[in-house]
Amino acid sequence: MQGVGFRPYVHRLAGELALGGFVLNDERGVLLEVEGDEVAVAAFLARLPAEAPPLATVERVRSEPLAPHGDGAFAIVASAHGGGPLALVSPDSATCADCLAELFDPADRRHRYPFINCTNCGPRFTIVHGVPYDRPLTTMAGFAMCPPCRAEYEDPRDRRFHAQPNACPQCGPIVRFGATTGEGALAAAAAALRDGAVLAVKGLGGYHLACVADDERAVAALRARKHREERPFALMAPDLEAARGLVELGAEEEALLLGRERPIVLAPRRAGGRVAAAVAPTSADLGVMLPYSPLHHLLLADVGATLVMTSGNVSDEPIAYADDDARARLEGIADGFLTHDRPIHMRTDDSVVRARRSGLPLLLRRSRGWVPGSLDLPVDAPPLVACGAELKATFCVAKRRRAWVSQHIGDLQNLETLLSLREGVAHFEALFAVTPEVVVHDLHPDYLSTRYALERDGVRAVAVQHHHAHLAACLAEHGETGPAVGAIFDGTGLGTDGTIWGGELLVGGLAGFERVGHLHPVRLPGGDRAIREPWRMACAWLQEALGEEPPLPPRIAVDHSRWRTMASVARSDIAAPVTTSMGRLFDAVAALAGLRAQVTYEGQAAAELEAAATGAGVSPYPLPVDPGPPVLLDARPAILAVARDAADGVDARVIAARFHAAVAAATASACTVLAEREGLSTVVLAGGVFQNRLLLDAVVERVADRGLRALVPERLPPNDGGISYGQAAVAAARLGG
């Protein structure tokens, strides 16, 4: 990657070992020659990858012997441009320890300067207009470096050598709060926050809305103004100690919190943690992050308390990042604006992760800190753009063996989000020099991503089935092409038979798949409305299991006439499409257990069901696997048992635990049946339902017990955020490079 201090590092290392030669960047990476003593050259090769600077990624080192030139000194040679660029822009990175020390050092010339950075940290992706990654092509272009900054920038021994956003209070961006600029602005903003204000705060990838997290009035006001119903607000704690007071943190979570990506880490809330009720009204987990830019470090230090830091938008729109737009959209929400004059070029939301006890963390939203890091493809791709699905949308551009998956675009259900997709695709195509010959899209004709794909001229369109894309994404990120057995569980995806899939057992690889099994189908009464009203799914499932109109269950608080109407809708062909959605089965069980009849966002009921599940060693509900073909996961007996337990007054926590155990056991045995039948040994677990860590870990364990290998999404989200990359992998396998 460019601008991460790799060439100066090589220069230093060569100097230390008294080697001659040169180093340069080209479009493929770094090229260098060293000459000197044989032992020193060997030491150089051994240390080169091991001691690389923090933001550098050494993928491979290839070396070959050359005849010596007799060069005495080592030189950094100017970058060569031209050819097919593969120039790599790195992700934004949290303030490094050296910069942090300077930030709080009264003797340093950047003491309390909110835009301090160096080659080891700072903004990258969010400020880049184009490549090569050089200051004129960043949003720092308008700031001319002062002589001391220029000297640092030009000195290969300096930590700020070629740090493109290098700046200081004399020459760089400044903060503003109301009419106050510079040092006073931060102090005034901090005072306003302490007094209960809701502020719009301009960060790295967009605006946040901030208020003090334990201020009941301020948080309630923010929630009411933002129309955010019940979705939890993210928190920014001043330091690790403060974060420990809010949530239960294991070593894995702490490492994630402190990582240079600085994601929002989801963890169980701690009893007595000081946050207002309105921060997360229904969630057992809280999302916490630590300050990641110098402005955040200063603000949190000045306020001295944890802040709500939720994305600056209303409901489902994309996060505001342009100053005028932010002012227009957030005016009615924020009491004031803490802003600055370094433009943001690419909006980028905070990433969201959840640790696992074994293996890599679950990336629930892969965005700031990871994007635009590239992923390899196991087969050659033609130049392509893959447009993703609908919810939690991302897109992906790819060529040859590399793919670049975009930041989180949002739910593609409105014009603003579609525009964001359009802009993002154009930017990625320029940044990574991909001129698409192929455009890949979901089978669903009504997704905005599909419409966008089909509007593009002069490209070949390839449709990829949703669950096949989930399967392919997981295989490809592990460098595999299949075939494998896939248990792909999610909320919604259009199947090849025109029904709504979501509890699918597939056998296949990148190029193709066969649907070899699925969840027992039911009706989705009222279509998409059933997503918002899990009690409808309870009604449909109970009716399916009983074979007749079900009585109103005791824990579902709707009136009898609505219940009966829903039962008749669920028997009709009108407004009740057939679905095998596993997500909707979880919704039905959450409703029957009395946890939730209505939700305000997709997946809320399922998340609450997972959080409720306690009691290891409970007996699973009956969920028989009919070996078929096709293999059927018959959840009807489980539904009846859930309803019986609920009527008998069994605790919702026990119901939740028995249900999770049932799905895990049935999934593992279905996968085993299929693996034996097909002579396969690999099982892929993917789809949004596997954001459920309890279910994921239980299935992985059971699959391993049966001698099979489980592959799970690690570098991309299990949810639809990974679909675009899966689409790219499928198109690559079908069409070749």
Tell me which residues touch Fe ion (CB under 5 A).
Answer: 490, 720
Sequential DSSP letters for 648-675: TT--HHHHHHHHHHHHHHHHHHHHHHHH
Angle, nearest 10°, between helix axes 560-569 and 534-546?
A: 60
How far apart are CB 391 and Fe ion at their closest, in Å?
A: 8
490: partner contacted, choices Fe ion, Zn ion, none (Cβ within 5-8 A by kind): Fe ion
From 499, 315, 475, select the one nearest 410 (Cα to Cα): 315
User: Taken in order 182, 185, 190, 193, is the CA torsion positive or negative?
Assistant: negative
Contact predicate 474/686, CB 8 Å: yes
Paired tokens of 441: 């899209």
CA dihedral 490, 492, 497, 503 (to 10 degrees): 20
Amino acid letter at 730? V
How far apart are CB 112 and Fe ion at their closest, in Å?
A: 46
Nearer to Fe ion, 383 or 517 (CB): 517
606: partner contacted, choices Fe ion, Zn ion, none (Cβ within 5-8 A by kind): none
Contact predicate 583/492, CB 8 Å: yes
Nearer to Zn ion, 159 or 596 (CB): 159
Residues 6+ apart with CB under 8 A from 228: 310, 315
Sequential DSSP letters for 34-96: EES-HHHHHHHHHHHHHT--TT-----------------SEEEPPPP--SS----PPPPBPPP
3-state secondary structure at position 497: coil
Paired tokens of 608: 């609450």
How far apart are CB 158 and Zn ion at their closest, in Å?
A: 12
Nearer to Fe ion, 93 or 604 (CB): 604
How far apart are CB 689 and Fe ion at their closest, in Å?
A: 9
Nearer to Fe ion, 378 or 687 (CB): 687
From 153, 110, 141, 115, select the one nearest 8 (Cα to Cα): 153
From 252, 245, 244, 268, select the one nearest 612 (Cα to Cα): 268
Nearer to Fe ion, 480 or 720 (CB): 720
720: partner contacted, choices Fe ion, Zn ion, none (Cβ within 5-8 A by kind): Fe ion
How far apart are CB 263 and Fe ion at their closest, in Å?
A: 21
How far apart are CB 191 and Fe ion at their closest, in Å?
A: 46
433: partner contacted, choices Fe ion, Zn ion, none (Cβ within 5-8 A by kind): none
121: partner contacted, choices Zn ion, Fe ion, none (Cβ within 5-8 A by kind): Zn ion
How far apart are CB 152 and Zn ion at their closest, in Å?
A: 9
CA atoms of 337 and 109, how far apart (whole Å): 27
CA atoms of 254 and 265, how far apart (whole Å): 9
Radius of gyration of the chain (CA): 27
How far apart are CB 470 and Fe ion at their closest, in Å?
A: 6
Nearer to Zn ion, 83 or 136 (CB): 136
Q: Strands 235-236, 285-289: parallel, antiparallel or unpaired by DSSP? A: parallel
Nearer to Fe ion, 336 or 527 (CB): 527
315: partner contacted, choices Zn ion, Fe ion, none (Cβ within 5-8 A by kind): none
How far apart are CB 434 and Fe ion at their closest, in Å?
A: 25
Q: Strands 307-311, 264-268: parallel, antiparallel or unpaired by DSSP? A: unpaired
How far apart are CB 638 and Zn ion at their closest, in Å?
A: 54
Nearer to Fe ion, 4 or 474 (CB): 474
680: partner contacted, choices Zn ion, Fe ion, none (Cβ within 5-8 A by kind): none
Nearer to Zn ion, 170 or 435 (CB): 170
Residues 6+ apart with CB under 8 A from 376: 401, 402, 403, 479
Nearer to Fe ion, 657 or 696 (CB): 696
Q: Which helix (H) or strand (E) holds 295?
A: helix 294-303
99: partner contacted, choices Fe ion, Zn ion, none (Cβ within 5-8 A by kind): Zn ion
CA atoms of 198 and 308, how far apart (whole Å): 9
How far apart are CB 367 and Zn ion at their closest, in Å?
A: 21
Residue 624's φ and ψ, nearest 5 degrees, are -65, 150
Nearer to Fe ion, 318 or 726 (CB): 726
Q: Which helix (H) or strand (E) holds 412?
A: none
CA dihedral 512, 449, 126, 383 (to 10 degrees): 50
How far apart are CB 79 and Zn ion at their closest, in Å?
A: 22
Nearer to Zn ion, 120 or 374 (CB): 120
Residues paired with 208 in a beta bridge: 201, 311
Nearer to Zn ion, 163 or 384 (CB): 163
118: partner contacted, choices Fe ion, Zn ion, none (Cβ within 5-8 A by kind): Zn ion
How far apart are CB 494 and Fe ion at their closest, in Å?
A: 10
How far apart are CB 172 and Zn ion at their closest, in Å?
A: 6
Nearer to Fe ion, 116 or 476 (CB): 476
Helical segments of 331-383, H only: none
How far apart are CB 216 and Fe ion at their closest, in Å?
A: 37
For binding to Zn ion (CB under 5 A), which residues are involved?
96, 99, 118, 120-121, 146, 149, 168, 170-171
Sequential DSSP letters for 609-658: HHHH---TTPPPPP--EE--SSEEE--HHHHHHHHHHHHTT--HHHHHHH
Q: Which helix (H) or strand (E) holds 314?
A: none
Nearer to Zn ion, 149 or 632 (CB): 149
For 723, counting Cβ atoms within 10 Å of its Cβ (0-12 exposed, 13-18 middle, 19+ buried), the class is buried
